[in-house]
Structure 1
Amino acid sequence: METTDLLKKVRKIEIKTRGLSRNIFAGEYHSAFKGRGMAFSEVREYQFGDDIRNIDWNVTARYSHPYVKIFEEERELTVMLLIDVSGSREFGSFEKLKKNVITELSAVLSFSAIQNNDKIGVIFFSDKIEKFIPPKKGKSHILRIIRELIEFHPESNGTDITEAVRYMTNAIKKRCTAFIISDFMDDNKDLEMALSIANNKHDMVALNIYDKRETELPSIGMIKLKDAEKGNYVWVDSSSSKTRKLYADWWIKHMGRLDVMFKKSGVDYVSINTNEDYVKSLMTLFKRRALK
């Protein structure tokens, strides 16, 4: 991609996603993703209504007048984006491919993070770790992430989310908030355990990206389907009601399995359709977390 075209794409995504994060998500993000706890800030004279459990007895004894400790939230977070760059992200049957939605979501979360003075880092993964961008602050860092999202070309087409989760758990020593942004087309049986272990150390959130055409097969006769990750082709008779039912049943089972896995591992998640506005889905997730 030429530099001029790349800069135009970066600018377009920046304008859209920075506006969303500033005008819509800023407050919800802050409420949904808490800091590391409360830290001592200062002492002041006791006022009616203050919690007596916060009285600083040493200062009170010194001045013969009650003083209380004031605590503030330790706001700064480290946010990690685990971004699926496998072959299946190239799928899309309407206006947007999965990878376009993943790019915009990643940019929105990145701008939301820096507006709250949080660090942001990225792990690109396929069936291996493709690239690790350590957490940092600042607009130039965000623009670098967006550039990578637009022009990154993975070495592999496969998917291994388990490997990515394990890598992050080992690479990030302090507690962080980690978003796994993927279509979760991965049947690795170890994923649930990896998510459970990671969620004990970090705050894990899953954004499941899917396309409507993955949920049902249209009746349009014989069609040639390609496995984007393995590269093999198969002919399917979509006019067969039995075939369409098998296809739909597989999708229902797949979504049910993901729901069980996320709940067992304690991971918050939301499913986002490429054909729908992801703003509503993210707001639902943020508000649900803020109530916890």
Structure 2
Amino acid sequence: MRRARQRGRGVEFDEVRAYAAGDDVRAIDWRVTARSGTPHTKLFHEDREQPILVAVDQRAAMKFGSQRCFKSVMAAHIGCLALWSGLQAGERVGGAVLGDKGIADSRPKRSQHAVLKVIRDLVHAGTPQSDNSAEQPSIADLIQQLERISRPGTRLFVISDFHDLLDEDHLAPLRRLARKTQVVAISVADTLEAELPRAGYYSVTDGDNHSQLDTGISGIRESYAADYQSHQSLIARRLRELRIPLLAVRTDDEPLKRLLTVFPAR
């Protein structure tokens, strides 16, 4: 049932369920009771709760890794840890998964099923798709969806490599979202994105095409590292302007230790 704010009570309507011994008789929902023929009571929760939404990027660019796992796997791992931690702390949890074909989302609930729903969406997004004709959604599409499903005060973890964040069209919805919720950006990268391997010839492929990379060309490693650092610095500056904290994670990091820097154990 739709949640509605109860003015003056300091609580928010959560749901209606069958009356149980010990329930406050003042909270009986007489309309539902009349329709069903059995007593039903309204349940409320305190306004001070802080629902948690976890948004995980699982698009093609995230399916890369040279260390212990792909960026997509690290992002999924961190997202699931945040969801289980939030649920254990008594918060409502939900999520959104950005895949190559669209966005799967679930509104926050205080239930293990809410976490399992996000996990299923992550598994589906990681399954190879035969139809590549659909236009890939952008990070802005994800942020706009998060605007629709979040409520003021929600704590929101956005986990991505943010490769397409810098367009102004993409920053505008993030600016609106940051005013409404408490956004934490978690950037996932791989060591090979930041620094080319030592001088030599390397075979590279995107799964369809194959080529040779010569990292011994004069200045190529320095130029590559400088371009990456410049891009990451620009992302960090834009997020800082929006007062959004940024946690940088590598694919060879220990996800729990990194997450605890912004999600302290309780």
Q: 2:177 aligns with which of 177, 180, 198?
A: 198
* 1:268 has 2:242 as partner: no
Change (3 A) 1:258 1:154: farther
Q: 1:180 aligns with which of 148, 154, 158?
A: 158
User: Counterpart of 1:236?
Assistant: 213
Using the TM superposition, give the Cα deviation of residue 85 of structure 1 relative to its aligned residue in structure 2, in angstroms.
1.1
Q: Deviations over 1:175-216 (max 9, x none)?
A: 421111101121433333322211011111111011111110
* 1:252 has 2:225 as partner: no
SS at 1:93's partner residue? coil
User: Counterpart of 2:262?
Assistant: 285
Using the TM superposition, give the Cα deviation of residue 284 of structure 1 relative to its aligned residue in structure 2, in angstroms.
2.3
* 1:221 has 2:200 as partner: yes
Q: 1:207 aligns with which of 183, 186, 191?
A: 186
Change (3 A) 1:224 1:160: farther
Work out the CA distance in 1 between the residues paired with 2:80 and 2:143: 20
Work out the CA distance in 1 between the residues paired with 2:193 and 2:177: 29
Q: Is the 8 A contact 1:79 1:178 kept in 2?
A: yes
SS at 2:261's partner residue? helix
Work out the CA distance in 2 between the residues paired with 1:176 and 1:127: 26
Work out the CA distance in 2 between the residues paired with 1:154 and 1:164: 20
CA RMSD of aligned residues (A): 2.9
Comparing 151-160 with 89-98, greater Cα deviation is found at 151-160
Q: Is the 8 A contact 2:64 2:70 kept in 1?
A: yes
Q: 1:160 aligns with which of 138, 143, 156?
A: 138
Q: 1:102 aligns with which of 55, 72, 75?
A: 75
SS at 1:190's partner residue? helix
SS at 1:82's partner residue? strand
Q: 1:145 aligns with which of 94, 118, 121?
A: 118
Q: 1:78 aligns with which of 41, 46, 51?
A: 51
SS at 1:91's partner residue? coil
Using the TM superposition, give the Cα deviation of residue 143 of structure 1 relative to its aligned residue in structure 2, in angstroms.
2.5
Using the TM superposition, give the Cα deviation of residue 250 of structure 1 relative to its aligned residue in structure 2, in angstroms.
0.9
**Structure 2: where are the runs of 5+ without partners?**
1-8, 12-45
TM-score (norm 1): 0.65
Change (3 A) 1:100 1:137: same
Q: Is the 8 A contact 1:159 1:185 kept in 2?
A: no
Using the TM superposition, give the Cα deviation of residue 149 of structure 1 relative to its aligned residue in structure 2, in angstroms.
2.1
Q: Is the 8 A contact 1:220 1:239 kept in 2?
A: yes
Using the TM superposition, give the Cα deviation of residue 118 of structure 1 relative to its aligned residue in structure 2, in angstroms.
1.5
Q: Is the 8 A contact 2:58 2:122 kept in 1?
A: no
SS at 1:200's partner residue? helix
Using the TM superposition, give the Cα deviation of residue 234 of structure 1 relative to its aligned residue in structure 2, in angstroms.
5.8
Q: Give the number of aligned pairs.
A: 218
User: Counterpart of 1:169?
Assistant: 147
Comparing 274-283 with 263-272, greater Cα deviation is found at 274-283
Q: Deviations over 1:117-158 (max 9, x none)?
A: 222122111466421222222123322322332343376694
Work out the CA distance in 2 between the residues paired with 1:219 and 1:137: 49
Flag the structure with more relative contact order, 1 or 2, with Cα contacts below 8 A and sequence separation at least 6: 1
Work out the CA distance in 1 between the residues paired with 2:212 and 2:203: 5
Using the TM superposition, give the Cα deviation of residue 88 of structure 1 relative to its aligned residue in structure 2, in angstroms.
1.8
